[in-house]
Each structure stands twice: as structure tokens, then as C-alpha cells.
């Protein structure tokens, strides 16, 4: 009898988690050994269960999916994590893969794609789908934002004026204007409204 692939599910929506667990549990060769709803529980469950594959959402309470991947991989470098998320921004993909994810899937993909990815990653390979690879290529080919530019961008998305951003970051308004101009150039936009839209689309900033 072939050994089953042991899977840990990390998903904050209970209905989605239960549905996915039911689907995977009825698939030959797979076994769901754990199912948790936040990033902190994910790290604890991994320590206890040592699953073969962890399916990880990115938007999680208490600890983000990226931070959970980083924590798990920090303790268990051999851990094999597949991201399963609605986030398709190039920055989200880059951060997850940089943290150590071996696969990246978008919710809504065919179930067969999920199974193929689970088996590929269990076999020691990395796997990302073509749409995800294209998004990642955009990120790599584009100009990267500095940490300070990201801080300014987050505040632009929150609707804060230059004066308020300057006060938040303890810098002058002139410096804020310099960062804003750099952001507009790097993001390929002409104003703050477009910058905020692109920031959300690409995953630099998340609302809520």
C-alpha cells in the first residue's frame, strides 16, 4: 500500500476549510491530518504534525501567511508549503516565494491543478501556474520600492496628506514629495489616486 501524502490546511474561512478538507480526504493517496484557521496555529500545528504538505492562505488572523511560512521554514527548512489564496498581486507572490513557499495557487483553479501541485511539491519540485509566473515576471522586471517608499505608499492608500505623512514618518514635507514623485515614476502612474489603485492591485498594500 502506497503511503499517503499528509496535508495540513491553513485557511481562516471555516466553510472553505471544511470543503477543501472533504475534497482532499476523499482523494486517493491524500490524508488531511490537521486544519487550522490562523497563522499562529499553523506554526504550532506544523510542529506537532510534521505534515508532508501545508496548504497555506496568505490572509490570516494573528500572523500572516507569509510570516507563518517564514516561521515554519525557519524551524523546518525541509517544510513544503503551497500557497492557496485569492491574492494575485506580483508583490504577494514574490513575498510568499521569498519566504519559502514551493507552490502558489489561486483559489478558483481546477481541483486537478491543486492535486498536480501537491504531488509535484511532495516530489521535491516547485510549481507555479502560468498566470502566477507572468505576474512574478512583472515584479522582477519592474523597479523595486524602498522600505521608506512603501511606508509612504501605505499612507497614500490610507488617504493621508503629505503634511500628515511627514509627521507620521518624522521627515520633512519636501522629503515626502521626493518619495511621492519616485513612487509615481516607479509605479508608472501620474497621480496619487492611480498610485493607490496600483498599490492594492499589485499587493503592496492590503485593505482591511
CATH of the domain at 153: 1.10.10.10
Domain co-membership, 67 together with 162: no
Domain co-membership, 68 together with 53: yes
**Average pLDDT over every residue of 148-158:** 90
Domain co-membership, 40 together with 130: yes
The per-residue pLDDT for 162 is: 94
Domain co-membership, 135 together with 166: no
Domain co-membership, 80 together with 157: no
Domain co-membership, 104 together with 22: yes
**Average pLDDT over every residue of 88-112:** 88
Question: Residue 141 above 70 pLDDT?
Answer: no
Residue ending a domain, among 113, 140, 167, is: 140
Q: Is residue 208 part of a domain?
A: no
Q: Is residue 85 part of a domain?
A: yes
Domain co-membership, 99 together with 190: no
Domain co-membership, 93 together with 161: no
d(CA 61, CA 12): 7
Domain co-membership, 88 together with 157: no
**Average pLDDT over every residue of 148-155:** 90
- Which segment, 63-77, 97-111, 123-137, is predicted with the most confidence on average? 63-77
Domain co-membership, 170 together with 71: no
Domain co-membership, 79 together with 167: no
Q: Is residue 207 part of a domain?
A: no
Q: What share of the chain is helix, strand, coil (3-state, %, to 5)?
A: 55, 15, 30
The per-residue pLDDT for 116 is: 94
In sequence order, the 6+-apart residues with CB closer than 8 A to the CB of 55 are 7, 8, 9, 10, 11, 20, 82, 84, 118
Residue ending a domain, among 87, 116, 140, is: 140
The per-residue pLDDT for 136 is: 75
- Angle subtended by helix axes 65-75 and 39-49, to nearest 10: 30
Domain co-membership, 177 together with 198: yes
Q: pLDDT of 166-191, one tens digit each?
A: 999 999 999 999 999 988 888 888 89
**Average pLDDT over every residue of 79-83:** 96
Question: Residue 109 above 80 pLDDT?
Answer: yes
152: containing domain: 147-202
Amino acid at each position: 500500500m502506497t503511503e499517503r501524502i499528509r496535508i495540513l490546511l491553513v485557511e481562516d474561512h471555516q466553510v472553505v476549510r471544511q470543503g477543501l478538507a472533504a475534497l482532499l480526504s476523499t482523494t486517493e493517496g491524500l490524508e488531511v491530518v490537521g486544519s487550522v484557521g490562523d497563522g499562529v496555529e499553523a506554526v504550532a500545528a506544523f510542529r506537532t504534525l510534521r505534515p508532508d504538505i501545508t496548504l497555506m492562505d496568505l490572509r490570516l488572523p494573528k500572523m500572516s501567511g507569509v510570516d507563518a511560512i517564514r516561521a515554519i521554514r525557519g524551524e523546518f527548512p525541509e517544510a513544503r508549503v503551497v500557497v492557496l489564496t485569492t491574492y494575485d498581486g506580483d508583490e504577494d507572490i514574490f513575498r510568499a516565494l521569498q519566504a519559502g513557499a514551493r507552490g502558489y495557487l489561486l483559489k478558483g483553479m481546477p481541483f486537478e491543478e491543486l492535486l498536480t501541485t501537491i504531488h509535484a511539491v511532495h516530489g521535491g519540485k516547485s510549481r507555479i501556474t502560468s498566470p502566477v509566473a507572468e505576474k512574478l515576471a512583472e515584479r522582477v522586471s519592474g523597479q523595486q520600492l524602498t522600505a521608506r517608499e512603501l511606508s509612504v505608499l501605505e499612507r497614500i492608500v490610507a488617504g493621508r496628506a503629505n503634511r500628515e505623512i511627514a509627521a507620521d514618518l518624522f521627515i520633512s514635507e519636501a522629503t515626502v514629495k521626493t518619495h511621492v514623485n519616485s513612487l509615481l515614476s516607479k509605479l508608472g502612474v501620474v497621480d496619487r489616486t492611480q498610485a493607490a489603485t496600483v498599490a492594492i492591485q499589485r499587493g503592496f498594500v492590503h485593505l482591511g
